Structure 1
């Protein structure tokens, strides 16, 4: 028994407890290095919709630098906790050593078109020192940041014939969008097609002829179309709202075709048969005026006149006596005196008038003809004369 009246066993008890505690601490340090009685553990993440042991966070690509992505905390720590990113697939993020706040370090590395996610191995160490680690996967959400791009040029030029049929391919475009969520591109004609001659096929990138081009029409006599093309991306299946667009131009030149012959108009004077009458021996003046028109576009619709033949009723050539205005169609008497325009010799003159259009290619010319009969009206041009063959006339009368 001890001098103070306490048994030796009772006196040794606190010392034994202390020794056991020290042994337990030593054993824990040996068997579980880096841990403490107050076990260091992950507490909460903010935002809180995380799962453990691997947390998943979704952020927009190209999030601005210094933007907070995630805040992590621990529980059961001994002393001060230091946070770090032990490893990462990219240097896009940094973490506050004392705060556990993960922020964007380099926004240029957050490119959804290059990578879809980033894994961070996070580590927390207290002063015991105890260490805990976890992995956070940061998914990158695609943002519609890239407008559709024309493959080589946004300006196209094409030439088609006026005779092109409906459905003819005008221009095939190649327009793409590199945004991951942009699954397609749709193009429309926003201007330059007032008559609705063109349209996009179902592939949304090929322009075709929707209606026949007829530049000869008075209401649509254009040989050029400048189509403004707007191409929208289909972001997440939607062509509106957040869609981005690019603009291109397709210039269409139409080559006219001489596909209409001239048609006769009303002659002057009006020829019902057509027959008209002039005095014989007419020395000058207008006989009649031919009229014709052509609805073809440009020079294809310019009509010129000429004589195919000019003959008397006997078949004799009379072309030297008349002229016709190439553009006016005016038929006139010339100054020629032979052969004579003599009713005593000929009853009429027959004109075969030719009307011809004027395409660039001579072989494409179209012509029409009209026969006009001009009767010669007898003029009292002679005085009576005695027949000299009788020589002498005898006249008798009664007194």
Structure 2
């Protein structure tokens, strides 16, 4: 019960001790120091580290508050919600630091935005949680019977992993008549029990003694351990081996080869014979168990060699107990201290503490990319490092503390030039020879909508045939965008304008995703020869960027219009119409000309003229290109004096389109010969009942005009007594003029202006003639003649239609 009460008092004392030391910290150059006892319960609060650093608890998560360590993060954790530092796992000071005077665990408290690093040191205080123990529970000791009183026998030391007052303080020997206990303090402060012979021994009376050796520590409550000392009384050997040194010290480099001799221990014995033969060995202690596999000792020579490769980063110091035992069983002990010297055998280590990837391409200069931790397990200059970025990149490595570096941008990023960067960091230590480590960080650049869609051309040209199918695709126009994702998703639209009062949208539409242009209706070249529209490409970024281009759509002509005959006018040709041919006309004389136009253009408007029905025999020929009708031979008295011909006018399109007109020709030398021929002609056809009346009216008008002409000639003779000229002439338009708006729309070989005929009538009816006298005085003759005989016009009126070329005219009698 007393022991349990004592343990409760000790636990309460440590809780008070922890409470006092958990608040005793200091901060120098962003450093914190805490002291805590070992074996604290998991989840125990050490301190509010956020408050001690001066951080706002609400910002801990936002600033990524964390602890960074290669060892300490196993034992400690921090809560970002309240800022408390907790014990994460069992802390055993003896496991961490063995018997070192000071046991420290270190880590870094790191926060970002802005970056701060605080060095935190936690000192682990020893508590009396271990009892003294003897490695051997039974110690066999041989004592010669004639050993003199006052002789000291070295006993096994008790071991206590605790330090200071909690370690072994005193020893106690069970009561007996021959032996007492004394303590020997070595130069390092440790105490060793010694057995002191108080009374002479007599093997014949008692040859063995069993005593209880108890070791006590100085903790509260006091803990103890026991061992049985078995003393065997023997004869003989009365001198102990003696080592040349009480403590052997040696320094060894960690790259020392295996099986290298590092030390030779030596002991002497004043006895002779077998009692002076010394055997060396490592004592079996907890410390020797740790190092026994690393070193070996020659039992005869005392030569100590390396048995394994040494590693300074694992163990810096070895402590071993060496025993020298003579042939009589007497032993002596010595301590061997081996110091391992560091070599530059560890390359630097790089770890990424924080990485921000991707970053927007419009990130400002100085943006923090990553926080890296650099560490070298070597010491001294071997552990000092230099860091750099191996390639020339828009980043800079900035030393934040002795172990941390920041990587920041030095320029504004451009994803279109580089979508990502491989940042290679090289860390080199200052050892000889130097060792280095490289690590590559991939940094992705996220896209920002900083590029507008672009067209490859400022102006596009498309050709579409007329009479196309509504709804068919006619052209594809596309833009490109250097951005990606939604920022590069392009939609197309047409900037609508009106074409002769009709919006473009009624003619064209565009697929907003593909840029394919569709016709909304069938095009007509004769109405619209081209369209000019603005196509707008707009991306889906925020804010939206756009660009535009011009698309010119040319409508290509198709042969969809039949030729239109202007002369003779169709309405006139349907009535009784005649062309009067002089009987005396020579071969090749121009009789008349068929004039036609085509609303199409190009090859589709090239017209040709042909007889498809003509009276036999035929004395007439027609020019295929000009439509001029000429005599092919002279007339004879026996020849038929009345002819009828059907003229075909066709274009050059595929398929070809055509129109026809019918002409009648009367061969006569004077007007009086025309009347019976006309009468015969009319009577030979199925004329309407009023055709004779029309004929009579026509004859009366012609006679009236002839009388007026004679009277005007007589009057002019009275005024000019010596005038021998003809009686005069008069003009009349036999045909109504053609609307110039109709002709002006044709630009390839068509008549450009109306035309007229002048009629000249002589006193002698046999000399009456019908001729082209002149065109409109305000219109140049060139406008009437276009591409003569070239085959590229629509029934061209050639320059041969100058005055007096047509010898005989044409009379027509309407129905």
TM-score (norm 1): 0.55
- Residues 57-102 of structure 1 deviation map (CA, whole Å, 9 limit, x = unaligned): 1113486664322124468966545254676743424433321212
Give 1:120 deviation, angstroms: 4.3
Task: Say if 2:310 is the partner of 1:310.
Answer: no
Shift of 1:216: 1.9
- Could you tell me which residue of structure 1 aligns to residue 370 of structure 2? 171
> Separation in 1 of the partners of 2:521 and 2:509?
10
CA drift at 1:257: 1.6
Q: Is 1:241 matched up with 2:433?
A: yes
Q: Contact conserved, 2:250 with 2:337, CA < 8 A, in 1?
A: yes
Matched, 1:140 2:327: no
Matched with 1:183 is 383
Q: Secondary structure at the match of 1:319?
A: helix
1:126 deviates by: 6.9
Flag the 1:90–1:167 CA change in 2: closer, same or farther, 3 A: farther
Specify whether residues 117 and 332 from structure 1 end up closer, same or farther in structure 2 by C-alpha distance, changes over 3 A only: closer
Q: Following superposition of structure 1 onto structure 2, how do residues 99-118 of structure 1 map, counting pairs within 5 Å?
A: 99-104=301-306, 107=308, 111-118=311-318
Match of 2:460 among 268, 271, 286: 268
Q: Which moved more, 1:204-213 or 1:137-146?
A: 204-213
- State whether structure 2 residue 399 is matched by structure 1 residue 202: yes
The structure 2 residue matched to 1:90, chosen from 285, 288, 294, is: 288
In structure 2, the residue matched to 1:57 is 250
Please report how far the alpha carbon of residue 267 of structure 1 lies from its aligned counterpart in structure 2 after TM superposition.
0.9
- Given that residues 415 and 446 in structure 2 are in contact (C-alpha distance below 8 angstroms), is that contact kept between their aligned partners in structure 1? no
Question: What's the offset of the Cα at 1:309?
Answer: 1.3
How large is the Cα RMSD of the aligned pairs?
Answer: 5.7
Instruction: Indicate if the aligned counterparts of 2:475 and 2:517 stay in contact, CA closer than 8 A.
Output: yes
Superposed CA deviations along residues 315-354 of structure 1, whole A, max 9, x for unmatched, are: x42321234576887878653469x9858xxx99773431
The structure with more radius of gyration: 2
For the Cα contact (< 8 Å) 2:530–2:552, is it kept in 1? Answer: yes
Aligned length, in residue pairs: 320
Flag the structure with more relative contact order, 1 or 2, with Cα contacts below 8 A and sequence separation at least 6. Answer: 1
Distance 2:564 2:547 in 1: 42
Query: Which residue does 1:250 correspond to in 2?
Result: 441
Any gaps of 5 or more consecutive residues in structure 1?
1-28, 43-51, 271-277, 386-393
Give the corresponding residue for 1:16.
none
CA distance in 2, matches of 1:375, 1:133: 113
Aligned mates of 2:517, 2:399 — CA distance in 1: 59
Q: Which residue of 2 aligns with 1:353?
A: 535
Q: Distance in 1 between matches of 2:329 and 2:476?
A: 117
Structure 2: give runs of 5+ residues left out of the alignment.
1-147, 154-237, 556-562, 570-700, 710-760, 762-815
Alpha-carbon distance change, 289 to 66 in structure 1, aligned in 2, over 3 angstroms: closer
Distance of 1:135 and 1:174 partners within structure 2? 41
Native 8 Å contact 1:40 1:132 kept in 2? yes
CA shift for structure 1 position 41: 7.4
Structure 2 distance, partners of 1:350, 1:131, is 116
Shift of 1:375: 11
Q: Give 1 or 2: higher helix fraction.
A: 2
Quick one: distance in 2 between partners of 1:241 and 1:129?
52
